[in-house]
Structure 1
């Protein structure tokens, strides 16, 4: 019985095929857009990029603050930048409408 089970298992595994799905990574970002660098102070970010339209208060320990600009967000630990990320733009904003 064990031999028959092994033969069936080997036969099934030899006949099993899988397709490889490749999803290309889309180009993200805006050409030439600079983001605040890690280690910059809040004052340096404000001088270089202007006042953030939306500022979230510090939360947690250590205190993490988030500033939102139109194209990116900046995360601070205390007074220093720890990360800058581009804001998500829905695909529809990048497509031009077609005319009939």
Structure 2
């Protein structure tokens, strides 16, 4: 039995460790795709600083509400919703910021 365990342990680690690395890098991959022009709006998981870097300063920052804090940044043609400091949703709009 210990011999079987010694054979299976490296195999299990070889499967589990890459899966956790993939999960951790999803937000980074999404940010790179958006920056590469593959998306015209911020994607879920991007941090506020990444959104500012790729899309510039928002035309308007609306008041934060709720717990956890939800913030909205208005750009020309889109609204970006954040929970705490990460994007949870981006929506195309036809309204121009006031």
Same fold (TM over 0.5): yes
Distance 1:41 1:49 in 2: 12
Q: Which residues of structure 2 form unaligned runs of 5+?
A: 1-37
> Residue 50 of structure 1 corresponds to which residue in structure 2?
56
Q: Which residues of structure 1 form unaligned runs of 5+?
A: 1-31, 90-100
Normalised to the residue count of structure 2, the TM-score between the two structures is 0.55
Residue 33 of structure 1: CA displacement? Answer: 6.4
Residue 57 of structure 1: CA displacement? Answer: 2.0
Residue 58 of structure 1: CA displacement? Answer: 1.1
> Residue 85 of structure 1 corresponds to which residue in structure 2?
91
Structure with greater helix percent: 2
RMSD: 1.6
> In the alignment, which of 56, 62, 65 is matched to residue 68 of structure 2?
62
Normalised to the residue count of structure 1, the TM-score between the two structures is 0.54
> Residue 81 of structure 2 corresponds to which residue in structure 1?
75
> Residue 35 of structure 1 corresponds to which residue in structure 2?
41
Q: Secondary structure at the match of 1:88?
A: coil
